[in-house]
Amino acid sequence: MKSIQPKIDMSDDDFSLLSGLGVDPDEIARQAFDEWVRWLSANKRPTTLSEQEVDRLYKVFSQASHDPDLTLDRLVRDYKLPVGRSKFLLSAVRKRYPKILDPEINEMVSLITAAATRVDREGYFRFRIVEDRIFIFKGIAQNKEWGVEQLSLERSGLGQFNVRVSKDLKDELIAELKKYG
């Protein structure tokens, strides 16, 4: 194996941007070089620009030194991506790389556990989630073939959903969530 050190000139602004995001500029250069080599050698050629963007975004967030949480707010604020594109990329990264969900899964399990202590007369408990997590619950409901009488979702405001779950499904829902982590 040969080792090379390409010299890359970078403006102070670009260096500050990467450093401010918690990203090592040398690591980004290595990843870019590796991406080109894989493309030229036909080892990895993304079929779409979206696939390439998803891979890049995951690599950046998985190596970020501080605040590695991938959120809609961070994509819009720090990466200057439009909201619609950010929502798509966020969903795509999370579906392709479920391990990035670990902190969120733990938070949702805690939320469900707390909500399940307040079961209503009809035998349901409710909690609120943000829109960018909704795909997880939709996926679980489809995979388990749960109907609306077992798990239902209702928009409760801008970017918010109320989730209603049958009390009998609490443990099964938590087990399914943990599969994402």
Q: What ranges do the domains of the chain cover?
A: 12-96, 102-180
Q: Which of 130, 53, 61, 63 is nearest to 89 (CA)?
A: 53
Q: Is 81 left (phi over 0), alpha (psi -120 to 50) or beta?
A: beta
**Distance of alpha carbon 168 from alpha carbon 181, whole angstroms:** 22
pLDDT band at residue 15, thresholds of 50, 70 and 90? Answer: confident
Residues 6+ apart with CB under 8 A from 165: 112, 115, 116, 124, 125, 126, 150, 151, 173
**Distance of alpha carbon 43 from alpha carbon 52, whole angstroms:** 14
Residue with tokens 């989730």: 163
What would the mean pLDDT of 97-121 be, rounded to a whole number? 80
pLDDT band at residue 144, thresholds of 50, 70 and 90? Answer: confident
pLDDT value, residue 101: 64
In CATH, what number does 102-180 get?
3.30.70
Where are the alpha helices (H) located in the chain, listed in sequence order? 12-20, 25-40, 49-63, 72-77, 83-96, 102-115, 134-144, 170-180
pTM, 2 dp: 0.50
What would the mean pLDDT of 14-39 be, rounded to a whole number? 79
- Cα angle vertex 86, ends 70, 77, to 5°? 70
pLDDT value, residue 99: 67
Is the separation of the CB atoms in 166 and 124 below 8 Å? yes
pLDDT tens, position by position, 159-178: 788 889 998 888 888 888 87
Higher pLDDT, 156 or 164: 164
In this predicted structure, the answer to whether residue 33 has a pLDDT above a threshold of 60 is yes
**Distance of alpha carbon 10 from alpha carbon 93, whole angstroms:** 28
What would the mean pLDDT of 70-97 be, rounded to a whole number? 81
pLDDT value, residue 180: 64
In this predicted structure, the answer to whether residue 65 has a pLDDT above a threshold of 60 is no
